Amino acid sequence: MQKQHQTTEQKPKREYNFKPGRSGNPAGRLSNAVQMARVEAKARELAAEFGGLESLSAAKRALIEQAAMLLIRRPRTSEDVVRHANALTKILRTIGVRPDKPAKLGTGALGAILRGDHG
């Protein structure tokens, strides 16, 4: 038979990351200038394929900047991940970027199964 006994001592308190009166994000959020600089850098990276931002029309430049914003922003939910991916695909197709062709299936056993050549 087991004895049930209670202890009168309490567990020591843990030190939490968030303390009262202290910010959980001491560096704060990025300023608008820094955020816009990141978007601008990503837009320049995307536009390099088309000869740079300066060579694009206003409409294409706006689409590339919108794509850059979507690439930099972190989706909050799994639905947002899909929405971002779909929006990016549409934007990139509009400005003329086509996805690469899918890779050919290998010649190994897995490739044969995926092609339906197993038997």
Q: Is the pLDDT of residue 53 over 80?
A: yes
What confidence tier does 106 reach under pLDDT thresholds 50, 70, 90?
low
The candidate with the shortest Cα–Cα distance to 61, out of 77, 40, 82, is 40
3-state DSSP call for residue 53? helix
CA pair distance 91, 71, nearest whole angstrom: 12
CA pair distance 30, 39, nearest whole angstrom: 12
pLDDT at 26: 76
The CA radius of gyration of the chain, in Å to the nearest whole number, is 26
Name the residue ranges covered by the structural domains of the chain.
32-94
pLDDT at 100: 65
Could you report the per-residue pLDDT of 69-105, keeping only the tens digit for each? 999 998 999 999 999 999 999 998 898 877 666 656 5
